Structure 1
Amino acid sequence: MNWKQKIIDPDIVMKKIRPGMSIFLGTGVSEPRTLVKRLMSSNSRKLVDLELIQLVNFSDTISLKTLDSHKYRLKTFSSGNMVNKAITRGLVDLIPIRFKRLHRLFESGLIQVDVAFIQVSPPDDSGTASLGISIDVARAAMEQASFVVGEINPKIPRIFGDTFVNMSEFDMLIYSQDDPVYFERWETGPAFDRLASRIASLIQDKSCIAFSIGPLFESLSKKLVNKHHLGVHSPVFTDALMDLVKSGAVTNLYKNVSQGKSIASYAFGTPALMAWLDRNHLVEFQGIQTVFDPVNIGKNPGFVAVIPARKVDLSGRIVLHHGRGNVISGPMELMDSFLGAQISKGGRIIFGLPSRNLNNHSNIKPSIKRYHNQLGFEESIDMVVTEYGAAMLNGLSIRERAQAMIEIAHPDDRMALFNRAKKKNMLYPDQIFLKESSHLYPHEIHEQQTFKNGVKVRFRPIKPSDEEQMRRLFYRFSDEAIYYRYFYCITTMPHSKMQEYVNIDWNHTMSVVGLVGEPGEGILIAEARYLKGESDLMAEIAVIVDEKYNNLGIATYMVNLLLKLGKERGVEVFTATVLFSNYKIMKVFKKACPNLKSEREDGVYSITMPVGHADGGG
């Protein structure tokens, strides 16, 4: 039978519907809008007590008004757009479930489908069409339904992968009279650009990334264009992701699932994206049972899922977005990404949010109890990023988490958060906070260097939340090393002393720490600082390195870094006092500044290093 003989008017389709039927609707962007509009607007007495099944709803065809008529009831698996209000009013049945398990629900018949409305691309000469821009459980719904209707839309791209169906699988066909649900590109801004820069610095070459929609991803794609050999294993494909692939940063060569191809289940974007996806051999769409499978996700090394957060509290609990701007919006829907990241070698989940919302109120809260759509399981939250930095929460106590979260809040909000944290006994009663330092913290200092034996060290300014790591570093030193540093034997370094050391007055002091290991799992192994004297032109310098990492060139690098930073900040001369027997640090100073001057008296060298004439090398 020629498939064109199945083409009929939508009204004929409506006459086939009976009261009490369950109707599966194509999801999100692939919603068959002409059929749904005709269903919603019909006054037929037969079109009552109907159950509509749709995984994610984004269009305006199903409204609160039509649901309120009680002719139809929507069953969905993800909150978004209109659905949130409808759920609150009891007009929508929300089934919380992990996306990976959805396919099994349909295949087993636990979710019963009588009718399937499916949007497809125009068929080719062999009668084969593409499910196009939404590959979830459409196949399972078609297999279970006794009545399957295809809506042919010429604006639906033919996308490779597990997307093709034959016209023989449809009982009836109609031509679409409506455009697909398009998404305009999101406007971004300076805060999102800075936030994206922070996140991009945490994504390594050869990582496998997962994207969603929203302003964060518009900015992030621009910040990732200089990466190499990225892979894509993502729930959705967007215009921003298209730009990243076109930049050459994505090659998919280091993936183990669909190597050489970017894979997704949904496309959300503009007509330009749809045109680019059409017959594009770089992209494949697979069902959610493949894309959301934690095992498949975990097979890809370096899997990184970036998830926009709405709010976060001082203990690391997350509030997720809901509504049109969020595709995967519920805690259960994120579980597959969490499990996949845990399986993936070097995998991680990064939660990102601006420090303040559009009303200029802090997005970091003492508590998030009053907010809906909480993620929970804060013990699994490793990393939260704002435009002011990254809070690495893995392995931290509640007190340490509170410190780390305060440090990435907007500078003007930190004092209030600090005071609330003390009242809630999240911080020590004697905890100190230097308000002025919040605005002076030198965020721009961020470097990485590879030393002998391939040891990679990341350098950044010290933070108050480094207190515990600095204490651990102190207790790893030998008595001799402590004597060289402090000129007398110190046996303890309690909180009262160490917190004074890590809370920096950046007007007079510069302190840089070195860390080894991946971000979020880094161990602090070195610190160098200078402290200005009575004159801003002169400063005393000191450097300490974990003895396990001696003789690699780390100390020399840090001294050179301080020389450069001091010069930029108007320091002309560094001074140091060195014991005669501490030949190692003398060697470091001479290498960094060959023309230094030294005077020896009573077994102690007094060192003078002209900053402007230092070697400045690494």
Structure 2
Amino acid sequence: MGRSKKFDWKKILVPPEDALTKIRPGMTVFIGTGPAAPLTLMQSLLEYDGRNVRDIELVQLAIQGNVILSVQDLKTYNYCLITFFSGFISSQTVKSGLVDMIPAYSSEIPELINKGKVSIDVAFIQITPPDSAGYCSLGVAVDVAREAMNKASLVVGEINTDMPFTYGDTFVSIKEFDLLVNSTNKQVPYKRHKVSKQMKKVAENVASVIKDGDCLAFSNSSLFEALGPQLKDKKDLGFHSLYFTDAMAELVKSGAVTNSRKTPFRGKSLTSYALGSKKLMKWLHRNPLVEFQGTDFVCNPIFIGKIPQFVAIYEAEKVDLIGGVAFPRTGSVITGPGEVVDFFQGAEASEEGCTIIGLPSRNINGDSNILFSLMDYPNQLRIRESVYMIATEYGVANLKWKTLRERAQAMIDIAHPDDRQLLMEQAKKGKFLYSNQIFISNSAHLYPTHIACKTTFKGGIPIRFRAIKPSDEEQMRRFFYRFSDEAKFYRFFYSVKTMDHDKMQEYVNVDYNKEMSIVGLSGRPGDQTIMAEARFVRDDRSYYGEVAFLIDDSFQGIGIGSYMLDLLIQLAKELGLMGLTAEVLSDNLPMKKVFEKANYPMEAQLENGVYALTMHFNE
């Protein structure tokens, strides 16, 4: 048999205007999204004066980055734009009827097209030049292009020589196109976001709860630009994300992302879109480390749920006291609830999976990003049950399975210090907090964030330490009731049977002008339990601090007491104290040894079965 004749694709290469003559009034035209937008065809469509191009319905998944159609364009040319997320220009015009929106989960959109729920007559698809075998790549946007091509009666390919040839479900034969046009537009790069000092700290806090081996969903915003450098010391991270960016490429190149712990696609980062610089596009060209698949696969919560340690991370614009989230409405990428729900559901089904929301405590105008209630704030995620953690530059609030009171306390703790008192009063009025809830205004500014650290003790036990917070009230109450009467007596020197709200809120609301309290936490990041607490209270007459400890029985004898004493010594010196004192029962020898190991001059006087210990800093 002889060789089959090679398809001469140049025979169907036409000027853009010739392709537009095939359109008829009332047709529905699918347009590639974001980096797949066929700009030459779109520009020609707007400039075309043929009477056949009237009453046209345009379908685009979302408008990203450059806005192709303006409000005036839609009015002038009698177009209607259908999208699946109301962002950018469409958010301004949905009510006018110029833009129509289909609320849908991202994973469902391919099925809507396949079943004809969204009819497609014409598909404008951007592609790479064909290879020697006659195959093109869909490049850096593989969403529902294949479904649109299958349904359309007219498929027009716009060949862009700038488009990277990518791997995955990206290959299309040049024979699948009815017409081809050459792109006269350079591919539009996405600028990298600037990172503020506040966002850098937000990213540090987000990174603190990400574990080795986590598989991450990233996006394109300043949070992720800041997060990338914070993750370079992690091991065996993975990517399963709707978007792939410059920051993600840098993490892959750093070795932090290996994708070695996820299946399928082991060793590959999975995505549907790439948004970034020319440098990123060059790196993606024929790069086998990145796999492009359609949104029905990438956004499928059932598939995501099978990935262990899946972490869905998003940047928010506003949040409220009980875990409500409103996503940004401006920027190069708009995050919509339809996308987020898919990834959040997957994260909830994932073994050790979680969701993290990050945002600065205030916006650039100085307004609080944490509100009492979002009410009718646009672009909301209304399933608070799916929000595990929210991070600002002031810490991480763990909300999963917490009561409304615990959520409100945790959110106030990570608000800007100057906004906490108002939020506290609003929460009291709204019955989220008790009417007698304590608030020490000075403590919000004096909280010693610098003392936070993580250390591994004997037996490979990792413990995180930080200063106590008002939101620790419920955890501290449970911690107290885990102790035997004997252990409580060692701590308080009298029998303490109960620790109700009034007592415990006084205990966790610390005036950092004269008192310091440190807690030790064990367990997975974001789901940790208090297992130790140490504090001192300054004596204003002697300028010494009186020390007391509580350490869970199962964590004693591994060095935690000595470590926490060193932290207290550091804090006491910062407050200008002369030393520390403690009263220790004579049979509590382990605690006495903790003080003896501190290598400071110490006096010990025994009276009535109690050692009075005095540690001096300046001798």
What TM-score does the superposition give when structure 2 sets the normalisation length?
0.96
- Name 1:149's counterpart in structure 2: 156
- Shifted more, 438-447 versus 60-69: the winner is 60-69
- The AA in structure 1 aligned to 2:226 is S
Q: What secondary structure, in the 3-state scheme, does the structure 1 residue paired with 2:97 have?
A: coil
**Contact 1:383/1:393 (<8 A) preserved:** yes
The answer as to 2:428 corresponding to 1:422 is: yes
The answer as to 2:230 corresponding to 1:229 is: no
**Contact 1:212/1:235 (<8 A) preserved:** yes
Q: What secondary structure, in the 3-state scheme, does the structure 1 residue paired with 2:604 have?
A: strand
- Name 1:340's counterpart in structure 2: 346
| Aligned-CA RMSD value | 1.7
**Partner Cα distance (1:88, 1:217) in 2:** 33
The correspondence of residues 95-494 of structure 1 with structure 2, limited to 5 A, is 95-327=102-334, 329-494=335-500
**Partner Cα distance (1:425, 1:130) in 2:** 57
The answer as to 2:15 corresponding to 1:9 is: yes
**Contact 1:121/1:156 (<8 A) preserved:** yes
- The AA in structure 2 aligned to 1:374 is Q
**Partner Cα distance (1:481, 1:458) in 2:** 23
**Contact 1:82/1:323 (<8 A) preserved:** no
- Name 1:546's counterpart in structure 2: 552
Q: How far apart are 1:103 and its partner, in Å?
A: 1.4
- The AA in structure 1 aligned to 2:110 is H
**Contact 1:516/1:522 (<8 A) preserved:** yes
**Partner Cα distance (1:562, 1:111) in 2:** 64
Q: How far apart are 1:449 and its partner, in Å?
A: 2.3
**Partner Cα distance (2:372, 2:234) in 1:** 36
**Contact 2:355/2:386 (<8 A) preserved:** no
**Contact 1:210/1:304 (<8 A) preserved:** yes
The answer as to 2:563 corresponding to 1:557 is: yes
- The AA in structure 2 aligned to 1:172 is L
514, 518, 521: which is aligned to 2:527? Answer: 521
Number of residue equivalences? 612
**1:547-580 Cα shifts (integer Å, max 9, x gaps):** 2333333223222322333334433421111112
**Partner Cα distance (2:501, 2:470) in 1:** 11
Q: Share of identical aligned residues, percent?
A: 48
Q: How far apart are 1:60 and its partner, in Å?
A: 2.8
Q: How far apart are 1:298 and its partner, in Å?
A: 2.4
- The AA in structure 1 aligned to 2:55 is D
**Partner Cα distance (2:218, 2:327) in 1:** 15
Q: What secondary structure, in the 3-state scheme, does the structure 1 residue paired with 2:125 have?
A: strand
**Contact 2:190/2:332 (<8 A) preserved:** no
**Contact 1:8/1:174 (<8 A) preserved:** yes
Q: How far apart are 1:101 and its partner, in Å?
A: 1.4
- Name 1:37's counterpart in structure 2: 43
Q: How far apart are 1:126 and its partner, in Å?
A: 1.7
Q: What secondary structure, in the 3-state scheme, does the structure 1 residue paired with 2:104 have?
A: coil
- Name 1:52's counterpart in structure 2: 58
The answer as to 2:74 corresponding to 1:86 is: no
Q: What secondary structure, in the 3-state scheme, does the structure 1 residue paired with 2:141 have?
A: coil
- Shifted more, 131-140 versus 575-584: the winner is 575-584
**1:397-417 Cα shifts (integer Å, max 9, x gaps):** 111211111111111111111
**Partner Cα distance (1:95, 1:324) in 2:** 21
Instruction: Mark the CA change 1:72 to 1:432 in structure 2 (over 3 Å): closer, same or farther.
Output: same
**Partner Cα distance (2:72, 2:424) in 1:** 47
Q: What secondary structure, in the 3-state scheme, does the structure 1 residue paired with 2:439 have?
A: coil
**Contact 1:50/1:73 (<8 A) preserved:** yes
**Contact 1:130/1:158 (<8 A) preserved:** yes
The answer as to 2:491 corresponding to 1:504 is: no
**Contact 1:365/1:417 (<8 A) preserved:** yes
Q: What secondary structure, in the 3-state scheme, does the structure 2 residue paired with 1:460 have?
A: strand
Structure 2 runs not aligned, ≥5 long = 1-6
**Partner Cα distance (1:536, 1:431) in 2:** 32
**1:189-241 Cα shifts (integer Å, max 9, x gaps):** 11111111111111122211111111111111122222222111111011222
Q: What secondary structure, in the 3-state scheme, does the structure 2 residue paired with 1:444 have?
A: helix
Q: How far apart are 1:612 and its partner, in Å?
A: 6.5
Runs of 4+ in 1 over 6 A off after TM superposition: none
What TM-score does the superposition give when structure 1 sets the normalisation length?
0.96
- Shifted more, 498-507 versus 603-612: the winner is 603-612
**Partner Cα distance (1:12, 1:324) in 2:** 35
- Shifted more, 35-44 versus 497-506: the winner is 35-44
Q: How far apart are 1:178 and its partner, in Å?
A: 1.2
Structure 1 runs not aligned, ≥5 long = 614-618
**Contact 1:393/1:520 (<8 A) preserved:** no
**Partner Cα distance (1:70, 1:321) in 2:** 30
**Partner Cα distance (1:569, 1:206) in 2:** 40
**Partner Cα distance (1:400, 1:46) in 2:** 62
- Name 1:616's counterpart in structure 2: none
**Contact 2:38/2:126 (<8 A) preserved:** yes
**Partner Cα distance (2:503, 2:332) in 1:** 47
Q: What secondary structure, in the 3-state scheme, does the structure 1 residue paired with 2:597 have?
A: helix
Q: How far apart are 1:182 and its partner, in Å?
A: 2.2
Instruction: Mark the CA change 1:536 to 1:273 in structure 2 (over 3 Å): closer, same or farther.
Output: farther
Q: How far apart are 1:29 and its partner, in Å?
A: 1.4
**Partner Cα distance (1:252, 1:376) in 2:** 32
Q: How far apart are 1:535 and its partner, in Å?
A: 5.0
- Name 2:79's counterpart in structure 1: 72
**1:495-539 Cα shifts (integer Å, max 9, x gaps):** 111111111111211110011112332111110011111257421
**Partner Cα distance (2:99, 2:331) in 1:** 16
Q: How far apart are 1:594 and its partner, in Å?
A: 7.7
- The AA in structure 1 aligned to 2:103 is P
Q: How far apart are 1:70 and its partner, in Å?
A: 6.1
Q: What secondary structure, in the 3-state scheme, does the structure 2 residue paired with 1:517 have?
A: strand
Q: How far apart are 1:593 and its partner, in Å?
A: 4.3
- Shifted more, 592-601 versus 2-11: the winner is 592-601
564, 574, 583: which is aligned to 1:577? Answer: 583
- Shifted more, 51-60 versus 496-505: the winner is 51-60
Q: How far apart are 1:595 and its partner, in Å?
A: 5.4
- The AA in structure 2 aligned to 1:355 is S
- Name 2:4's counterpart in structure 1: none
Q: How far apart are 1:145 and its partner, in Å?
A: 1.1
- The AA in structure 2 aligned to 1:326 is V
**Contact 2:451/2:567 (<8 A) preserved:** no
495, 499, 517: which is aligned to 2:501? Answer: 495
**Contact 2:137/2:171 (<8 A) preserved:** yes
